[in-house]
């Protein structure tokens, strides 16, 4: 069952690495503008530095989760997954976009539960 926990944490890490790519490198592309519901191309262009910073944080979360798995550090995994759950809840609340909760918090909740009960 530990394998399930590892797979779920790896999925969340992959997801955050993907967010890094979207926010740091593809922010002003049509696909990402549509995905994130950005107001316009001009708005995306104006906010690309902020998005890149946000992407960098997502990369740190992904790297931390990978490090936690490699180091077998349950405390680190619990902390980072809890941060991701809270960030997803706050993001969904502050933007009024529930899909943020579904894409960010739900996978992290499952990963967190698996780490707490199976790892």
Longest dimension (CA), the chain: 48
- Give pLDDT, residue 17: 98
Closest C-alpha among 64, 57, 101, 58 to residue 80: 64
DSSP-based three-state secondary structure for 97: coil
Q: State the pLDDT at residue 9.
A: 98
Instruction: Say how far apart CA 82 and CA 1 lie, in whole Å.
Output: 21
Q: How far is CA 97 from each of CA 4, 26, 68, 102, 115, rounded to the nearest angstrom?
A: 29, 21, 30, 10, 27
For 119, residues 6+ apart whose C-beta sits below 8 A from its C-beta are 2, 5, 6, 74, 77
pLDDT 10s per residue in the chain (119 long)? 799 999 999 999 999 999 999 999 999 999 999 888 887 899 999 999 999 999 999 999 999 999 999 999 999 999 999 999 999 999 999 989 899 999 999 999 999 999 999 98
Which helix (H) or strand (E) element contains residue 92?
helix 74-95
pTM of the predicted model, to two decimals?
Answer: 0.93
- Sketch the domain layout of the chain as residue ranges: 2-118
Quote the pLDDT of residue 1.
78
């Amino acid at each position: 069952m530990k394998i399930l926990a590892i797979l779920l944490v790896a999925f969340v890490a992959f997801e955050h690495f993907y967010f890094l790519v979207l926010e740091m490198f593809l922010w002003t592309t049509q696909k990402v503008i549509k995905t994130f519901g950005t107001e316009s191309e001009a708005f995306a262009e104006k906010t690309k530095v902020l998005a890149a910073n946000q992407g960098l944080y997502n990369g740190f979360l992904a790297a931390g989760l990978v490090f936690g798995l490699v180091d077998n550090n349950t405390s680190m995994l619990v902390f980072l997954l809890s941060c991701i759950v809270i960030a997803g809840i706050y993001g969904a609340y502050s933007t009024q976009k529930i899909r943020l909760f579904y894409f960010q918090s739900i996978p992290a909740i499952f990963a967190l539960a698996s780490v707490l009960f199976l790892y």
